Chain A
Amino acid sequence: MKLYLYGIIDSGDQIKESIYGLEGAGVYNISFCDIGAVVSEVSQPIQGVTEGAVLEHEAVVEKLMTNFTILPVRFQTIIDGRDNLLSMMQSYYKDFKDNLARLYNKLEFGIKVIWPADKVKENIIKALNEGEQRVLESDGSASKRFIKEKFEKYKIDKEFETKADRFVKVMDIFFSKFAAEKKLEKLKTRDLLLNAVYLVEKSEEGNFREAFEHIKSARQNLKYLFSGPWPPYNFVILPKKSDLLKDSEQEDLFDKVIQHRELVGAV
């Protein structure tokens, strides 16, 4: 029996409402101690990523969110049989419990901000040209001119990053006040100044929304996107259980790559 998995909830009880998922099948809870895996039976793997299937999946998760704390499961996770499901629940039990406790009563909100990157860059170039300090000779060998050009570009890029940092910091100070956790991504693309998700306690939702409206009206030359409330997709923390590397080896490798990335920085 193929079980399509929607999420892990903080209850072993049966689901009272009638919820229908993929292939129109009924959604039910398979309990494991005091938690449960919410599933529906599927006859075949869904062919590719279609709008319909994705929305059906999301609708189920959001419906469950109204009554339970739910750890949303990635789209198209199909488990082969009930025994395998229970064995999976057993190996992840502690991780699931920890996450359910941490995410209890919390909602995820997404905030994206677009800024006029070209204009920002223009202003930086203007400012640099006005306060220009001739560090290097304007004429000289090809090598010197090469360095000069590179250095000017470097200064502009650096100032660009600094400005982005500043903008994001100010906004984040406002939002963080009402958030339990957050994940920020600065300059994912040149124009996407901020791509952030915040984990907000249900009781703080109003304050959080207000903080957003405040920032929106304070800086009207930027473009804003606000989304939510979402199930806590971005705040589930699970260790990667891989047989390829022992846990300790895997950690070292990740640390090394992260260190390297910091070194490379805004390359």
Chain B
Amino acid sequence: MRNVVTKSKDVTLLEILDRVLDKGVVISGDMVISVADVDLIYLGLKVLLSSVETMEKLRGSPFIGPMQEAK
């Protein structure tokens, strides 16, 4: 299980974002429905985290994600 100290978590998230938003197999074409490139541009950690807070509010409960699930 990973360290849940906020700062370490943020660095990990940044490292993941750097890879997942822009690297790897990037496919384009008519068959690909994905959000326009402009929305995939990294908006900064602060904006990202506030989206999570919004999600929490919408669901009315703390966000359950893979990081909190124990295995």
Contact = CB atoms under 8 A, between A and B. Distances in A.
Interface of A: 2, 5, 7-8, 45-46, 48-52, 54-59, 71-81, 84-85, 87-88, 92, 96, 110, 225, 227, 230-234, 236, 238, 241-242
Nearest to A112: B15
A236 B34 contact: no
Which 9 pairs of residues, A with B, have the shortest CB-CB distance? A84-B31, A233-B19, A233-B23, A72-B24, A75-B20, A73-B25, A59-B66, A76-B34, A52-B65
Interface in B36-66: 39-40, 42-43, 48-49, 51-52, 55, 63, 65-66
Nearest to B65: A52
Nearest to B69: A59
8 contacts: A48-B39, A49-B40, A49-B42, A71-B25, A75-B20, A88-B31, A232-B24, A234-B19
B26 interface: yes
A55 B21 contact: no
B70 interface: no
A52 B33 contact: no
Given A50-B48, A74-B20, A79 B15 contact: no
A110 B15 contact: yes
Contacts of A55: 13, 16, 65-67
Given A51-B13, A233-B20, A46 B25 contact: no
Contacts, number: 120
B65 A80 contact: no
A51 B51 contact: yes
A48 B44 CA distance: 13
Interface of B: 11-13, 15-17, 19-29, 31-35, 39-40, 42-43, 48-49, 51-52, 55, 63, 65-67
Given A49-B43, A230-B19, A241 B29 contact: yes
A92 B24 CA distance: 14
B31 A50 contact: no
Given A50-B52, A55-B65, A110-B15, A236 B23 contact: yes
Contacts of A5: 27
A110 B15 CA distance: 9
B15 A227 contact: yes
